[in-house]
Amino acid sequence: MTDTATAAAATRTGELLGIDNLSVSFHTRRGVVKAVRNLNLNIREGETLALVGESGCGKSVTAHAITRLVPMPPGVIESGIIRFRGTDLLSLPEKEMRALRGSKISMIFQEPMTSLNPVFTVGAQIAEVFITHEKLGKKEAFARAAELLNLVKIPDPVKRAKSYPHQLSGGMRQRAMIAMALASPEPGLMIADEPTTALDVTIQAQILQLLSELKERVGMALLLITHDMGVVAETADRVAVMYAGRKVEDAPVVDLFANPRHPYTAGLLGCQCSAPSNRNAARLTSINGSVPDLLTLGEGCPFANRCDNVKDECMESFPDISKAGEEHEFRCHNPIPGPGASI
C-alpha cells in the first residue's frame, strides 16, 4: 500500500496511532533480546486501548518506542512504522519528536514516588511543560499549573503547587503526574504505563476514574498499559493482549471478556479472583510455568510450553491472524472454540 493510501485509510477509520510490524530488540552481551516482535496495533481518536500482558512481555517497550524513549544502544528498532496522525514517528528528526513529546503524546509512569523530580516543587515541574512548549512566562505557567492541579482534583491547588513531591502522598503524586501529562494545548494521546500498580486499591479506583473523566473532557485517546484485568474491564474500549513480545489477541473489551479465543487470554482471565472458576475454589487458578527467556525464543508460538491446547505445529510456527468478528483478531493454531461452536 502506498503512503497516500495508508493515510487515506487512517483518516477513514479515525486512526490516531497506527503501529505496523514493529520489532524492537536489545543487543546485550548475552545475545539479542527480541522484546517486541512484528507488532500491529492501532488506536482511534478518543479511544482507550488497554495493552495487557505479564511483566517483560514488551508492553513498556512498545510505549517507549512510540515516544522514542527506548534507550539506544542497547535498544534497536529493527523494523516497523509508527504513524501518529499520519506522520511516521520513527523517521522524525529528534527535534520534532521532542516537540511532540509532552504536547501531543504524553506519558505517565508506574512509580509516582520516583517519577517526580525531588528538588523542585510540583507546580514548578508542571509549569516547566508550559514554558517549554508554549513559551509562557513563569507566572502564567504557574497559574496554569495550579489550574491543572485543580482539574486532577487536588484540593487547595495553589498551596499544593508549592509542595515538594516528598510532601505528597502516592495518590496525590500520581494526580500531579497526570496533571503534568495534561499540560499541553491539545493532548492527542496519553500513554499510561501501569498508572495504578504502585497505589493502594482505594486510590487505584480514583485514579482510573479520573483518567476516564479527563479523557472524555479533553478528548484524547488513552493507551493503558496494565497487567490487571480488573483495570481493563473498568476503563478500556479495546484490549490487546501481548505475550513474550507478540500480540496474541486483540478485541473490543466485551468480546474479549465474553469469548477469549487465545488460551493465554483465557488463562489471564481465569487468574482473576472474580473469575467464575475461582468463585468457590480453595486455590486460585494460575497459568503453569513462567514466561520464556526472550533470548532463546524460537520461531514457534511462545506460549506453547505453557499451553493446555498445545499441538505439534505450535512448536514450529507462529500462527497467522484469525478473525473472530469484525474487530476480534487472535493468533492461535488451536484456539478456544467461539460462542457458536461451544453450544
Partner 1 sequence: MIDEIIEEEISPPAEPGFWKESWYQLTRNRAAMAGLVIIAVFALMAIFAPLVAPKDPLIQTISARLTAPFTDGYILGTDDLGRDLLSRIIYGGRISLIIGVVSVGISLVLGVVLGITAGYFGGWVDRVIMRIIDIMLAFPYILLTIVIVAILGPSLMNAMVAIGISQMPRYARVIRASVLAEREQDYVLAERSLGTNNLELMFRTILPNALSTTIVQATLGVGEAILSSAGLSFLGLGAQPPTPEWGLMIASSKQFITSAWWVVTLPGIAILLAVLGFNLLGDGLRDILDPRLRD
Quick note: the x/- pattern for partner 1 over 230-269, rule CB under 8 A, is ----------------------------------------
Shortest spacing between CB 152 and partner 1, in angstroms: 10
Q: What are phi and psi of 105, to 5 degrees?
A: -120, 120
Does 102 engage in binding with partner 1 (CB under 8 A)?
yes
187-218 CB burial, b ≥16 within 10 A, e <16: bbbbbbbbbbebbeeebbeebbebbbebbeee
Among positions 38, 40, 132, 285, the unique one binding partner 1 when judged by CB under 8 A:
132
The least CB distance from residue 109 to partner 1, in Å, is: 6
* Contact letters for partner 1, residues 275-314 (x by CB under 8 A): ----------------------------------------
Q: If binding is defined by CB under 8 A, does position 149 make contact with partner 1?
A: no
CA–CA separation, 118 vs 195, rounded Å?
19
Q: How far is the CB of 247 from partner 1 (least distance, A)?
A: 23
Shorter beta-carbon distance to partner 1: residue 12 or 95: 95
Nearer to partner 1, 66 or 242 (CB): 66
Residue 341 interacts with partner 1 (CB under 8 A)? Answer: no
Residue 115 or residue 272: which is nearer to partner 1 going by CB? Answer: 115
129 part of the interface to partner 1, by CB under 8 A: yes
Question: Does 87 participate in binding partner 1 (rule CB under 8 A)?
Answer: no
61 lines the binding site for partner 1 (CB under 8 A): no
Q: Which residues, listed in sequence order, are joined to residue 242 by a DSSP beta bridge? A: 247
8 A C-beta contact, residue 30 and residue 20: no
Q: Is 117 in the site for partner 1 (CB under 8 A)?
A: yes
Q: Residue 1 carries which side chain, given as an amino acid letter? A: M
Q: By CB under 8 A, is residue 177 in contact with partner 1?
A: yes
Q: How far is the CB of 186 from partner 1 (least distance, A)?
A: 14
CA angle 314, 319, 324 (to 5 degrees): 120
Report the interface residues with partner 1, using CB under 8 A.
Answer: 67, 69, 98-103, 106-107, 109, 111, 114-120, 125, 128-129, 132-133, 153-156, 159, 162-164, 166-169, 171-172, 177, 180-181, 183, 202-203, 206, 209-210
